[in-house]
Amino acid sequence: MVKSYPSVEEELEKLGKGAKLNWLRASVLGANDGIVSIAGLIVGVAGATNSVPIILTAGLAGIVAGAISMAAGEYVSVSSSRDSERAMLEKEKYQLENFPEKELEELTLIYHKKGLSKKTAQIVAKELTAHDPLAAHFDAELGIDPNDLTDPWHAAIASALSFLAGAMIPLIAVILPPDNLRIPVTFISVLIALVITGSVSAKVGGANILKATLRVVFGGALAMGVTYYVGRMFGISGI
CB 89 within 8 A of CB 133: no
**Which pLDDT score, from 0 to 100, does residue 24 have?**
66
Q: pTM higher than 0.85, yes or no?
A: no
> What are the residues whose beta carbons fall under 8 Å from the beta carbon of 33, sequence distance 6 or more?
66, 70, 163, 166
pLDDT at 25: 67
Distance CA 98, CA 192 (A): 59
Residue 170 pLDDT:
93
Q: Residue 17: its pLDDT value, please?
A: 46
pLDDT of 156 reads 87
- CA pair distance 206, 185, nearest whole angstrom: 31
The confidence score (pLDDT) of residue 64 equals: 94
pLDDT of 110 reads 79
CA distances in angstroms from 80 to 32, 75, 144, 150, 169, listed in the order given? 24, 8, 15, 11, 32
Task: Give me the tens of pLDDT residue by residue for the chain, a chain 239 residues long.
Answer: 334 444 444 443 444 444 455 566 667 788 889 999 999 999 999 888 888 899 999 999 999 999 999 889 888 988 888 888 788 778 877 877 777 778 777 777 877 777 778 778 777 777 777 777 777 767 766 666 666 677 788 888 888 999 999 999 999 999 888 888 889 999 999 999 999 988 887 887 777 888 888 988 999 999 999 998 888 887 654 44
DSSP class of 235: P
HSE value, Cβ hemisphere, 13 Å, CA-based, for 40: 16
The answer to whether 198 and 215 are in contact (CB under 8 A) is yes
From the list 36, 61, 29, the residue with the least C-alpha distance to 186 is 36
* Structure confidence at residue 22 (pLDDT): 57
- Cα distance between residue 224 and residue 214, in whole Å: 15
